[in-house]
Every structure is written in structure tokens, then in C-alpha cells.
Chain A
Amino acid sequence: MTTSGVPPSERLTVRLRVNGRPVEHAVQARRSLADFLREDLGLTGTHVGCEHGVCGACTVLVDGRSARSCLLFAAQLDGRAVTTIEGLTPAEALSPLQESFRLCHAMQCGFCTPGMIVTATELLADQPAPSTEAIREAIAGNLCMCTGYVNIVRAIERAVAARSQDARR
């Protein structure tokens, strides 16, 4: 579907998958993906920190690749698969990456954390054993105002180490 030339308040119907479930929704052309997820679908785990694509708090996966949901219109997502922090969290307990963040206290206020987890998920999917430098590079598009990133890097390193230990077993 093209959205060019559509008045901003006109409603368009989008069909997509969000966290594995089919969604069909009429959205205003100007509705951002972030607002769509939060306001229309009630998925408030995706946070909005700058709305101009710098802070990374709103990062989600679109067809498995990280994307800033504040810079996408919901209407652009027709036919796509979106994964949010809710989709990366097991029904019971936490994912190994989340558990590593918890044990390393890789957050303080927790506002950046969902975006960090999404970005780190993509990194770990792409690279089995990223170096510390690769980790720092990978999360450089996600701002955290609380931690100085130290414990976030440690948490991802810990998750990598735990995974390689599991692989050896």
C-alpha cells in the first residue's frame, strides 16, 4: 500500500502481525508505529523518548530487523511482522538476555531498557559472540541516561558467555 497523497487524518486499514498475532486496524495516516503500538494495541512496553529517531527507546523489530517505531507510520507496516518487548518476554519468567540484564542491574529507571533489549536481541541473533567493542557499537543508537552503559555492556557480555556455555554442554 502506498500512503503518498493521503490526508494525515484519513484512516487506512493495516493488516500486520504483532508479536505473532494477526492485527487488523484502521489507523490515521499520521499515526506513528510507536503510538499505534502503545495507544491502539495497549503495548506500553515500547517507550517514546525523543520522537525524532535518536534515543532508540522505541526500538522494535520489523521482520526481525531493529527499527525506530517513532519514525515509522503504522500504515507502512501493512503485511509486516512487528515484535515488541512484550513479544520478546516469555509468558513465565524472563528470557536469558532479560535475566542477564536483571542480574547485572543493567538499568536504573528502566525507560530505555525495552529498546536496549530489542537492540541486543538483534545483535545476538546476528553475531554469536560479539566483542565488547561490537556490543558498544551495537547499542550506540540507544541512549541511556542512567547507567553510563557499563552494566548494559556487562549484561550483554554475560548473556553471550552464558549462551556459549550452553552451546558447549
Chain B
Amino acid sequence: MPDGAWVGRPVPLKEDARLVAGRGRFVDDLGRPRMLQAAMLRSPHAHARIVAIDTREAEALPGVFAVLTGVEAAARSGPIRPLIPTTAVVPDYCLAVDRARYVGEPVAAVAAVDRAIAEDALERIRVEYEPLPAVVDPEAAIRPDAPLLYPELGTNVVWHDTLTYGAVDEAMARADGVLRERFTIQRYASTPLETFGVIADYDPGTDTFEFWTNDQRPGLTISVLAASLGVPQSRVRLSCPDIGGGFGNKRRPAYLLICALLARRSGRPVKWVEDRIENLTALMHACNGIMDVELAYRADGTLLALSVRDIADEGKNLVTPTQHNLIKLGNIANGYRIPAVRYAAWSVLTNKCPSGANRGIGKPFMCFAVERAMALLARRLGQDPVELRLRNYVTAEQMPYTTPPGARYDSGDYPATLRRALERFGYAERRAEQAAARRSDDRPLLGIGIASSVEPAGTNLASYEIVTGRRAASGSAEAAMVRVEPDGQVRVSLGDPPSGQGYETVLAQIVADELGLSPDAVTVSRGFDSTTTPWLYLSGNYSNKFSVTDVGAVVGAAARVRDKLLRIAAHRLEAAIADLELGGGAVAVRGAPDRRLAFAEIARTAYADVLGLPPGEEPGLEARHAHQNPLAQPVDGERRVRSQLVFSNAAHCCLVEIDRRTGLVKILKYLVVHDCGRELNPLIVEGMVHGATAHGIGAALLEEFRYDAQGQLLTSTFVDYLKPTSVDVPIVDVDRLEHPSPVTPLGAKGVGEGGAIPGPAAVANAVEDALAHLGVVVRSLPITPEQIWRWTR
């Protein structure tokens, strides 16, 4: 293919060539000489005092090199600093010290010559527990008489506040009606197929810790590790190899600390790779929650106000509480013009697995509540749900549009997105099919579900000021480096280690366009290495931020390199920069192709023949750039903030068939029309939409971390915690609109989370549509065959 305009092409992925041959390098594929393997002993109780731990027998087992308890961890490391600003400030160590607060919380760890022996040693550790009453239900946890996870806090409520934007009470009073409904969401997680893992090594000679891990957010993790280990950040080195999926789940500095302490004690590198039961029990769940929604409307369906009471069940999450709440607040309007909004938030600790980032953080539930409410309102008003949405969408002419809590929709045409979806879905024909099926008692029940959403990208940590009243971190930024090597080939590195998003390809496309060469001449460094990758505290693979910050960082670094190439070439060719052009991996005088310098020749000047440089030009041919998205701003005087920055949007249409006898829901057709601005590589974009939509379908129909009243997790394997398989997920049909963002460097917007946001609502709306004649209202997920059977029997 000729050079130029690589961005926008569906270029097959460079990384796929190695992954398809099993040649990825994942953390469990790595090793170190003399390396030990770790295993962790975990609490069988949801809540218990740890009276005593006896590790003598474990330590005596041949092959065991180190055993660590919570008391020792607390003596040898500092508390874990929260990953975000928080109000719940209590010491939280990498192992439970005197109290275990959820089933699966690590209470001791062993390093041994292999994993089997480490696990043998765990069986020889005697822990005396004194079980305590567990609090499992978040509403119960709020009550004054609830058992407390942290008696010193005096409450399980990490945050409660009521934020009002606009005249909500007046709107409710003058409305023709108010729809009131309670929705709940279950705990679920994206469960990347590669589990969490780390190798930690300690070099006593230099007092340096080294980590190889699939942690998704290295910038922040390094600072947490250094603070707990009591070493300067300059003596923590962290590298990420290929990461086998993340979706927000892969962040747990505690595990890195445990291995670091074992490594320091044993004098050996220590590897630990989470097993699947540990992953499902103890890594990270999306918050379960309860939302009470009040939606005020005029008789014609115009929305007047939305009031939400939202309880987020954080489990034992002291490192990122309130995250789900704040992101729900930012997404509360879901693309609609709602003039007045009230949001009452509770962020509540319970004796369950820590909550944390999971594809879409809070947005799937927010969208579920709003889109379920819209479906119910349409039914109440006797309107088609399409008409109701079209009446209330923010329109293209109203862009940029700021919602009452401060989210700023930058671009897009939401009505056009839905219209395109209906057309492609064959909405009228599907409705006719459904009517025909309803006339017959023995035909399966058919239901049509529509849901739409906005999909914000990028983050702004200043939003936590709403919770804490003070600002710790803020904004949104990423750092990158572009270097023309001495041989003229190009290398790129980025502070965001990908976990399946194809950065090695899409960054090569971007740099190829900026420098006028083929992506084949551009190598993007795999993963992350804190000693060579440019990075910031904000660096990492999270918050759908690639288009918002990462692209700008790479474009900026490439532009600096391009300018330098031009300056050196102008000097060598004795030409004006304005007369030069880049192409084919060379700089040439426009119109005089024989006056041309290949990058290798310019690089030779820059690195070797430095007397040939223009006067004052610094040797070398590389540049770093950090891009800060200007939309991130502090919280304003009315407590409005852009917690996320750039907005994609989508409409999902779903046709389901329900088997009257078995209650099984089968998705016959699933269509997504989305708009993520300029698509940098449509092959990657479409894959993201497929995958995220499958996550939405899983949450709607299958996945649930179900706890009993004592806080025991009942779904801790893939036999009980059901993931969607190839026969559960239909062939998702994807179409797109492309309204470039005016506020990102190449016009791209986020696409990683989109499908997961309206997916649960679309499926739920379809199921309810199929069962509406029975008076069914879908208020919770997942919609299991058992649930359908209860509704229909």
C-alpha cells in the first residue's frame, strides 16, 4: 500500500500475528532465575476477628522460603494509599491484620519452590478466627445498628450526599406525572481471561524493588508501592508485558506488596498468579446497587426532572470508593435533555469482595435505570418508546450541550443514531412479526428492546473534590515518546499499557501519517517499563482514555520529531523548511525529488555525525510529549464537574424470543449503531463494540456474584458464574455514524465501554416487551430462566 492516510484504514493488527501463534508474552510466561511461587491463605469468613495465626508448621515444610502474616506485613510495610481521594481514611494493609472483612480476603502468604508446595504449606497454617456478624445487604449496612466493618469510622457509609442541580422540587410539583420505580443491579465483572499476576524481585544491593505485572494502571501503582514499601519511587521499577484483558479489573497493589515482602524476606524473586476462584472471589466486582428513580414528565412525554437515590455497595473497598457514584452522576442524563436533576448518593461498605473498576464503571446501571424508566414511561403514556426518546434527545444543533451536573456532550447526532438503528433493524417489520406471534399461543414470545446511551471517555480526578472537598489528583493526561532510531526506523512508546486494544497497530498508523512512512517502519514498544516508558501518575489503561489523551501524546511527540527531521534536512539540503515534504521515510525538496534525505541519513547526522547538525540543534532524534485534555476542569461553585470528557453515543436494538416452557431467552437479532467520532482503525473499533456488547448481554442474562446472608459467595467458579459463550452471544450487527469530536487531536472518541453500557437495558427492555401483557416489570438482573418461569407460570 502507498504511504499516507493510514489513520482510518482497517489495517490488520501487528500484535495479532504473534498472539495467534501463542507467542504473546504474558506475565505467567515470564520467569526469573531462582524464582519462587507464592500462594495465599484466604479468609473463609465474611467477617471475623483474627485471634491468632500459627505458621510454624508451614515454615518447617521443605521447599518453603517465606511465610507472611498480616501482623508482619503491617510491621514491614505502610498502609496502602487509596487509589483515589477518599473520606474513609483507615489503615488498610496488604494482608488482613486483626480482622477479615470478606470471604477470600488474604490473611497470610507463602513463597515456596513451586506452587504445589506453597499450597501444601497453606494447609499447615492454623488460623484461629472469631466470627463476627456480617453485613451483606447495603441497605442494612446503612442502618445505625449494622455491624461495622471499621468500628473506628463509626459507620459503614463512606459517602452520603445529595446534589441538586436546577429546580427539581418545582418540576416534580408541576409535572403531569412522576414515574417512580426501584431498580437494582447485581455484582458482576468482566473477568479477563488472563487472571491477575505479578513477579516481584528485591535487590538488597541497591534497595530496589522490581515488578513485572499485568496491573493496568502502572503510574498510580508505582506511587502506592513506593509509599508502602518506604522506598523512593526511583527505586521501584515496574514493567507490564502483554496483558490478557483488563476491563478495569486488573488493579490490586496489595498483591504486588505481598509478593514484594515475600521477595525481600526470601531473597528470591517471587511469582504469584491468581487462580480463577481467587479472581472471582476476591479481585474486583462492579458494585451491586439499588436505585430509586423519580422521573417527572409532561403529558406529551417531555422530561422535566430526574431524581435518583443511589446506593452503591462497595464491599470492602477502601481504595476506590465513590467511584461508581461519581461516574453515575456524570452520566445521569444519558443523552436526554433533563432540565433538573437530583442525585442522592450512598457509598457503603459491606462484607463482600472489594468493588472496583469494571467496563463502564456505574454507567451500565445508570443507563439501565434511565432506559428502563423510559420504557416504562412509554408504556404508561401509550407512546412508542422510539417517539419518547426522539422527543427528549439532545440534538445535533444543541451541541455542545452541558447537562445539569456538568457533563459536556461535545458532538454527535443522537436522533440520527437511533433512526439509523431502527432502519437497519427493520423496526416496523419486527413489530409486525411480534404482533403475528402474539396472536398464537404456541409460538414463542417475541420482544423488542431499544436502549441508547452516551459513552464518555477520559477521566478527571478533580471530580473527587465533590466527595472530599479537597483536590488531590486532577485532570486527564498521558505521555508518549517517538524516536527515529539511528537506522531510520521509528520506535514509539506510551504510558498506557494495552490489554487488547491494538495500540501497536493504531499508534503505528498515527505515527506513519505524522512522519510520512509506512506503519511497517514503526515499532511500538510492547507494554510498559517505568525506566524507559514516559509516564505520569495518570498513566494507565483505564477510563476509555486512549482517544482523549493517548492519541494527543503520540501526535504531539511525532510532531516534535517531524519538526526536527525538517530542521536537520533543511540544513543539510540547504533548503527552506517550507519547501520540504515528508514521504516514503524521507524528507525531500518539493518538486526536486533528487534532493532527498532518507530518515536513516538524517538519523546518522543526529546520532553520529553531529557536526552536521544545524547550529544549536541538540543531537538525537527523539521527542516526548504529554497531552492534557483541556476539557478537564475543577469542580465549579455549583458542584458541577466534567468527571469524564468526550462523549460517544450508541443505540442498541434487540429482538428476543422467550421459550414459554423453559424460560430461556434467546437473542434472535442484536444491532448496534454507534458513533465514536473518527474511527482510527475500524477493525479495532468494531471488535471493541462486539466485545463490550457481549459483556452487556452477559450482565443481562447470565452473570451474577451471588452471596448468601452470611456473606458466602455462591458463584465462585465458571460453573456457577456463567459467562456468555459463542452460542449465547448472537452475531452482533454493527453500523456507525462518524461525527468527529472537536476536542480530541484526531477527532476520535471512546469506544471501549460503549456496548457494555446500554446492553443490559436493551435486553431487559426486550424481555419486558415480550412479557408486558403479563404485567411483568424488569427491575433487576440477570434475567434467568428461573426468573422468567416465576413471571410466566
Contacts and interface: CB of A to CB of B under 8 A. Distances in A.
Contact of B21 (A8, A98, A132): A98
Contacts of A103: 12
A102 B116 contact: no
A150 B21 contact: no
B496 interface: no
Contacts, number: 177
Nearest to B16: A102
Q: How large is the interface on A (under 10, 10 to 19, 20 to 34, 35 or more residues)?
A: 35 or more
B26 to A, nearest CB: 7
A68 to B, nearest CB: 12
Interface in A105-142: 105-114, 117, 132, 135-137, 139-142
A50 interface: yes
A111 B13 CA distance: 15
Contact of B726 (A51, A52, A89, A136): A136
B700 to A, nearest CB: 13
Contacts of B684: 105
Given A50-B276, A108-B500, A110-B500, A146 B194 contact: no
Nearest to A57: B193
Interface stretch (A10-18, A41-49, A71-79): A41-49
B694 A149 contact: yes
Interface of A is mostly: loop
Given A85-B22, A101-B16, A145-B191, A111 B244 contact: yes
Given A145-B190, A148-B693, A108 B726 contact: no
Contacts of A105: 12-13, 16, 502, 683-684, 687
B727 A137 contact: yes
A107 B725 contact: no
Interface in A28-44: 28, 30, 38, 44
A48 B20 contact: no
Interface of B is mostly: loop
B691 A111 contact: no
Contacts of B686: 151
A113 B246 CA distance: 16
Interface residues of B, number: 58
A30 to B, nearest CB: 6
Contacts of A113: 19-20, 22
Given A45-B23, A55-B718, A102 B17 contact: yes
Contacts of A49: 193-195, 276
A6 interface: no
A63 interface: no
Contacts of A143: 193, 718, 723, 725
Nearest to B728: A140
Interface in B494-548: 499-502
Given A109-B499, A144-B193, A153-B726, A85 B690 contact: no
A47 B194 contact: yes
Interface string B9-29: 000110111111111101011
B301 interface: no
A139 B195 CA distance: 21
A164 interface: no
A145 B719 contact: no
A26 interface: no
A33 to B, nearest CB: 15
A107 B16 contact: yes
B746 to A, nearest CB: 20
A66 interface: no
B207 interface: no
B29 A30 contact: no
Contacts of B692: 148
A45 B193 contact: no
21 contacts: A8-B116, A9-B116, A44-B22, A55-B193, A89-B22, A98-B21, A102-B16, A108-B245, A109-B192, A109-B194, A109-B499, A111-B245, A143-B725, A145-B191, A145-B247, A148-B690, A149-B694, A149-B725, A149-B729, A150-B729, A153-B731
Which 8 A-B pairs give the minimum distances between C-beta atoms? Answer: A45-B22, A110-B19, A109-B500, A111-B244, A148-B694, A108-B500, A85-B22, A148-B690
Given A54-B718, A114-B22, A145-B191, 10 more contacts: A44-B26, A45-B22, A47-B193, A47-B194, A109-B193, A109-B500, A111-B192, A142-B726, A143-B723, A153-B731
